[in-house]
Amino acid sequence: MQYPEPVAKLIDSFMRLPGIGHKTAIRLAYFVVDMNADDVSKFSSALKETKDKLRYCSICGNLTEEDPCVICKDKSRDQNIVLVVEQPKDIMVMEKMKSYHGLYHVLGGVLSPIEGTGPEDLNIKSLIKRLQTNSNIKEVIIATNATPEGEATAMYLSRLIKPAGIKVTRLAHGLSVGSDIEYADEMTLSRAVSGRTEI
């Protein structure tokens, strides 16, 4: 027996989302079927609004309703530091900790030969241009994930930026608070030792 066409389309739509398999898509589709009409209308309106109103900031690449974004327009932020992240969602994580007050730059991914993502596919050209045209920037903090692709991207960016005389730093990696050494992998322990700080 086949699903009614609207349900089948909904299942297919949910399966396009990352991390959503067939069973979860079915569960979500039937959840939507059981929602009241007002909630469905709000849900579909939120989806449409997201596509209609959001754009990427022409300076940093963050998601925004206005261009440039509120962070780039905020003159009270430290104009000497740019923190480079993979995706716009990473900015929200950094902002939640409330201890970083500099600027951002979103790459839109990482270098990945396996996935066919090269430097031309990322927001690297605009970063280099930004550094060349803004003499206020003294430090670039690279905050890509601690994956092989993230590390390769960090090294690539470092080689591009350092010749300009701009300080390039990397977020510290190592043991997380509350973790046990016996359960840490070798790479994590190695980073923890090399990134040790004086107490």
In a domain, 181, yes or no: no
Nearest to 91 by CA among 137, 134, 59, 114: 59
- CATH number of the domain within which 125 lies: 3.40.1360.10
- 82 shares its domain with 166: yes
- To the nearest whole percent, how much of the chain has pLDDT over 90? 80
In a domain, 191, yes or no: no
Number of domains in the chain: 2
In a domain, 99, yes or no: yes
Edge-to-edge strand list for the sheet holding 139-142: 103-106, 81-85, 139-142, 167-170
Contacts of 173 (CB under 8 A, 6+ apart): 146, 188, 191, 192, 195
3-state helix, strand, coil split of the chain in percent (to 5) is 50, 10, 40
For residue 112, list its beta bridge partners: 117
Q: In which band, very low, low, confident or very high, does the pLDDT at 190 lie, cut at 50, 70 and 90?
A: confident
Q: In which band, very low, low, confident or very high, does the pLDDT at 14 lie, cut at 50, 70 and 90?
A: very high
Q: Which structural domain range is residue 46 located in?
A: 5-53
- 94 shares its domain with 131: yes
Statement: the pTM of the whole predicted model exceeds 0.85 = no
In a domain, 27, yes or no: yes
- CATH number of the domain within which 40 lies: 1.10.8.420
- 46 shares its domain with 128: no
Lowest mean pLDDT among 16-25, 154-163, 187-196: 187-196
In a domain, 70, yes or no: no
Does the structure show a pLDDT above 70 at 125? Answer: yes
In a domain, 24, yes or no: yes
Can you tell me the mean pLDDT for 75-80? 97
- 165 shares its domain with 87: yes
What is the C-alpha separation between 183 and 173, in angstroms, rounded?
16
